[in-house]
């Protein structure tokens, strides 16, 4: 590898099924949330039993598991956090992802044998912050998303080699500084820093109507000369105006494009980043498989031969666009984001494929067993997405329900199906269909 640092590919998992898909499609580590004290309360998340099974399964396949305990805790949370950390001590994940200093201290007291990683939510923007956490016993610090690659490279040079650096390389970007957002609280009373974000940054906002111009002019007089003010209203809140100041730093209330660094693996490696983190603990198995497979191949290709990596660039671009996304940006890595990194006309994802189901094995007749996720029919031509990078096309020749009754189509989500295909998928291969 010519001395190049081999990074960890860290993949999100919303549930046990997605964890197993992440393992199959190339994750070195997965990060998951329990049912409490994480920042994705709306995700499926893991019960204690599923977490135990997920950790066991991942470890059997040489994959690490990191568990999020990254809420900003209130005093009333502490007793529950202590009990939760005692449970995690028994389950023995590889690391805990923590933002709150109090939670960090409790984890060190209750389960010191589990590595502690400092969440991006802790606003880690300089070398002294990294050293502060290192002296307290942190094994890894996740960079704030506002850092450039140049800044990360400088931090790498100023901190000990055994302090690992983790950075997001793909997925949704938060409009607030390192995820510290109050917008959800303002509109709905649901706290983004305690796992209940309603994602108001993705809502549709309207400019103020002309008849209110006089009222808004009075508000605008309060701005400084170097600032500009606009007024917005969320579409379901007419007459409730949001003054938005814009200065040389821009505005931070609109819908960001998604981060994608698949074309910049050499720069990530040169910066000395130890773990490449994919955002998406609320994303589907198809998304996880697509992103994990593409980054796995890109990283491995580059470490084998930079020329090989460059020669496959069109394939990486094509594959990464097969999952849901909101157009792509490189975030803060090369420059401060501008209007070119925002999407003003829509908050919807681009979706090129739909997932039909995940192959679970085959029955006595050699039919593929799966639980259906989206409708498909006999005669459809579908793709079998495989961890090796291939997507062979097959024909749906026959569909049977769990009792062996023939069906022309499969319209019911989560129904057990036995499907005869022009080929036999392996367990965890994903059956998908291009969206019309």
Q: What is the DSSP string of 234-291?
A: ETTSTT--EEEEEBTTB---SEEPEEE-GGGHHHHHHTT-SEEEEP-TT--HHHHHHH
Residues 354, 348 contacting (CB under 8 angstroms)? no
Helix (H, G, I), strand (E, B) or coil at 394: strand
353-434 placed in CATH 2.40.50.100: no
Tens of pLDDT, residue by residue, the chain (436 residues): 345 679 999 999 999 999 999 999 999 999 999 877 654 445 457 899 999 999 999 999 999 999 999 888 999 999 999 999 999 999 999 999 999 999 999 999 999 999 999 999 899 999 999 999 999 999 999 999 989 999 999 999 999 999 999 999 998 876 665 665 656 665 666 666 556 666 666 566 554 554 555 554 555 555 555 445 556 665 666 666 666 554 443 344 556 788 999 999 999 999 999 999 999 877 889 999 999 999 999 999 999 999 999 999 999 999 998 876 667 889 889 987 665 655 544 555 567 899 999 999 999 999 999 999 999 999 999 999 999 999 999 999 999 999 999 999 988 888 999 999 987 899 999 999 998 7
Give the largest CA-CA distance in the chain: 77
Chain-centroid distance of CA 302 in Å reads 23
Query: Which residues, other chains included, contact 214 with Cβ-Cβ below 8 Å and sequence gap of 6+?
Result: none
Supply the pLDDT for residue 82. 95
Look at the block and give the residue holding tokens 């069906």. Answer: 407
- Comparing CA positions, the residue from 99, 112, 95, 260 lying closest to residue 192 is 99
Do 368 and 362 form a contact (C-beta atoms < 8 A)? yes
**Per-residue confidence (pLDDT) for residue 48, from 0 to 100:** 92
Torsional class of 320: left (φ above 0), alpha (ψ -120 to 50), beta (otherwise): alpha
Report the distance separating Cα 270 and Cα 287, nearest Å.
27
Length of the chain: 436
How far apart are alpha carbons 418 and 435 in whole angstroms?
23
If residue 434 lies in a helix (H) or strand (E), which one and from where to where? strand 430-434
The domain locations on the chain are: 8-176+256-343, 182-188+195-250, 353-434
Per-residue pLDDT, 240: 66
CATH classification for the domain delimited by 8-176+256-343, as one of 3.90.780.10, 3.30.360.10, 3.20.20.70, 3.40.630.10: 3.20.20.70
Rounded distance between C-alpha atoms, residue 18 and residue 334, angstroms: 32
Query: How far apart (Å, rounded) are the C-alpha atoms in residues 203 and 69?
Result: 28
Spatial distance between the Cα atoms of 48 and 57, rounded to a whole number of angstroms? 14
Task: Please give the Cα distance from 272 to 250 (Å, whole number).
Answer: 30
Q: What is the pLDDT of residue 357?
A: 95
How far is residue 157's CA from residue 430's CA, in Å, rounded to a whole number?
A: 42
Using CA atoms, how far apart are residues 26 and 20, in angstroms rounded to an integer?
10
pLDDT at 69: 94
What crossing angle do the helices spanning 78-91 and 48-60 adopt, rounded to 10°? 40
Separation of alpha carbons 380 and 395, rounded Å: 6
Residue 270 tokens, joined:
């040169």
3-class secondary structure, 116: strand
**Tokens 């039909």 label which residue?**
356
- Tell me the two tokens of residue 116: 């502690």
What gap in Å lies between CA 311 and CA 212, rounded to an integer?
57
Torsion 315-318-320-326 (CA) sign:
positive
Structure tokens at 239: 């007459």
The whole-angstrom separation of Cα 151 and Cα 222 is 36
**pLDDT value at residue 200:** 67
Let me know: does 356 contact 429? Beta carbons within 8 Å: no
Strands 353-358 and 242-246: unpaired
């Amino acid at each position: 590898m010519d001395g190049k640092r081999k990074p960890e590919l860290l993949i999100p998992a919303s549930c046990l099924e997605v964890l197993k898909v992440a393992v199959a499609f190339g994750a070195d580590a997965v990060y998951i949330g329990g049912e409490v004290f994480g920042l994705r309360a709306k995700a499926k998340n893991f019960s204690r039993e599923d977490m135990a099974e997920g950790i066991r399964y991942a470890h059997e396949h040489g994959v690490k598991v990191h568990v999020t305990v990254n809420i900003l805790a209130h005093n009333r949370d502490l007793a529950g956090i202590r009990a939760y950390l005692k449970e995690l001590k028994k389950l023995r994940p590889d690391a805990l992802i923590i933002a709150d200093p109090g939670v960090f201290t409790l984890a060190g007291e209750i389960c010191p044998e589990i590595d502690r990683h400092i969440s991006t939510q802790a606003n880690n923007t300089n070398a002294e912050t990294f050293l502060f956490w290192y002296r307290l016993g942190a094994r890894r610090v996740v960079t704030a998303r506002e850092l450039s690659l140049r800044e990360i490279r400088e931090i790498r040079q100023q901190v000990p080699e055994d302090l690992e650096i983790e950075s997001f390389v793909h997925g949704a970007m938060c409009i607030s500084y390192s995820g510290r957002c109050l917008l959800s609280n303002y509109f709905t009373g649901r706290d983004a820093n305690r796992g209940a974000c309603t994602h108001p940054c993705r809502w549709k906002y309207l400019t103020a109507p002309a008849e209110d111009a006089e009222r808004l002019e009075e508000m605008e007089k309060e701005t400084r000369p170097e600032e500009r003010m606009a007024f917005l209203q969320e579409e379901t809140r007419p007459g409730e105006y949001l003054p938005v100041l814009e200065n040389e730093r821009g505005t931070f209330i609109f819908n960001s494009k998604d981060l994608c660094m698949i074309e910049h693996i050499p720069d990530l490696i040169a910066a000395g980043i130890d773990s490449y983190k994919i955002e998406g603990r609320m994303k589907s198995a198809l998304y996880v498989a697509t992103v994990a497979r593409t980054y796995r191949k890109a990283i491995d290709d580059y470490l084998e031969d930079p020329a090989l990596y460059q020669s496959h660039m069109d394939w990486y671009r094509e594959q990464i666009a097969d999952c849901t996304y909101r157009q792509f940006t490189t975030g803060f890595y090369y420059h401060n984001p501008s209007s070119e990194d925002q999407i003003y006309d829509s908050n919807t994802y681009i979706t090129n494929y739909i997932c039909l189901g995940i192959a679970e094995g085959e029955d006595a007749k050699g039919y593929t067993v799966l639980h259906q996720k989206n409708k498909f029919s006999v005669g459809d031509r579908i793709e079998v997405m495989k961890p090796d990078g291939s997507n062979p096309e097959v024909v749906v020749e026959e569909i049977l329900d769990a009792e062996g009754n023939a069906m022309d189509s499969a319209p019911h989500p989560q129904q057990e199906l036995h499907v005869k295909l022009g080929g036999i998928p392996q367990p965890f291969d994903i059956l998908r269909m291009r969206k019309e």
